[in-house]
Amino acid sequence: MSDTFEFIDAEYAARTATNTATPVPSITQMCAWLQVSRSGFYEWRDRPTSATATRRGELATLVHRSFTASDGTYGYRRVHADLCAWGRPCGLELVRALMREQSLEPCQPRPWRHTLTEQGQGPAVIPDLLQRDFTADAPGTKMVGDIT
């Protein structure tokens, strides 16, 4: 039911914000079209936010703070550990849901790996000493190998 009330509220706000030549339907008309009571809409609108919604809002700001402090590398498990360290215990799935709502996706940087080649050098030219002639007159005169 609250989805319907949210739709009515958003639609009325959007239509009154734009100055169009078409008449804006009243809240009474929208409630009648969607078959909900007008008094229920006003009761929903004037109701204070619940304790759960307030807590989720506070946790959402802390989740965002932890995520940005890690330069966007922390996933939901590390963010959850930060919240517990800050004295705000909550569940892993709640942290995961809050990160999804805010579109926070961690990006793990690639680890640095040591390489033996220097940047910008081309491959070394290997000389062909046999000139592609692999036939030999006696064993042990031409030694070739394949590392593939």
Provide the token pair at 6: 């949210």
Same domain, 40 and 55: no
Q: What angle do CA 77, 82, 84 make, to 5 degrees?
A: 95
CA distances from 87 to 62, 90, 94, 95, 113 (A): 11, 10, 16, 14, 37
Residue with token string 């009243």:
26
Report pLDDT for 20: 66
Same domain, 41 and 74: no
Same domain, 58 and 41: no
Same domain, 55 and 33: no
Count of domains observed in the chain: 2
118: in domain? no
Question: pLDDT per position in the chain (148 positions), as tens?
Answer: 788 999 999 988 888 877 667 788 889 999 999 999 999 999 999 999 899 999 999 999 999 999 999 999 999 999 999 999 999 999 999 999 999 999 999 998 788 888 776 777 777 788 888 888 888 888 888 887 777 6
* pTM (global) more than 0.85: no
d(CA 71, CA 104): 11
88: in domain? yes
Q: Which of 65, 81, 101 is at the close of a domain?
A: 101
H runs (alpha helix) in 47-126: 51-69, 76-85, 92-101
Structural domain for 9, as ranges? 2-46
Report pLDDT for 131: 86
d(CA 77, CA 84): 11
